[in-house]
Copies of this chain bind each other. A is one copy, B any other.
Amino acid sequence: MDPFVVHILGCGSALPTLKHNPSCQVVEIRGKMFMLDCGEGAQTALRRSKISFQRIRAIFISHLHGDHCFGLIGFISTLGLLDRTAPLHIYAPAEMKPLLDLQLQMFFRPPSFEVVFHAVDTTKQEIIYEDHSLTVTTIPLEHRIPCCGYLLKEKPTLPHIRPDMLEFYKIPFSQVGNIKNGADWVTDEGERIANERLVRPADAPRSYAYCSDTRYVPTLHERIKNVSLLYHESTYDEANLDRAERYFHSTGAQAATVARDAEAHQLLLGHYSARYSDEGPILEEAQKIFPNTILSQEGMAVDVKN
Determine if A71 is an interface residue (Cβ-Cβ < 8 Å). Answer: yes
Whether B81 and A15, one on each chain, are in contact in the complex, defined by CB atoms closer than 8 angstroms, is yes
The reply on A41 being an interface residue by CB < 8 A is: yes
Among candidates B15, B64, B74, B95, residue contacting A70 with C-beta atoms closer than 8 Å:
B74
A42's closest neighbor in chain B, by CB?
Answer: B40
Instruction: Classify chain A's interface size.
Output: 20 to 34
Please measure, in the bound complex, the distance between the C-alpha atom of A98 and the C-alpha atom of B98, giving whole angstroms.
Answer: 11
Chain B residues in 8 Å Cβ range of A95: 106
A87 to chain B, nearest CB (A): 20
Bound: A71/B70 CA distance, A: 8
Is chain A's interface secondary structure helix, strand, loop, or mixed overall? helix
5 nearest CB pairs, A to B: A40-B74, A66-B77, A70-B74, A41-B41, A16-B43
Pairs A–B under 8 Å by Cβ, sample size 15: A14-B77, A15-B78, A15-B82, A16-B43, A16-B44, A17-B47, A18-B44, A40-B70, A40-B74, A65-B107, A66-B73, A66-B74, A66-B77, A70-B73, A99-B106
Interface contacts beyond A15-B81, A17-B47, A18-B47: sample of 19 additional A-B pairs, CB < 8 Å, sorted by A: A14-B78, A15-B82, A16-B74, A16-B78, A18-B44, A40-B41, A40-B43, A40-B70, A41-B44, A64-B107, A66-B73, A66-B77, A66-B107, A70-B70, A70-B73, A70-B77, A95-B106, A98-B102, A99-B103
A interface residues with partner B (beta carbon < 8 Å): 14-18, 40-41, 43-44, 47-48, 64-66, 70-71, 73-74, 77-78, 81-82, 95, 98-99, 102-103, 106-107
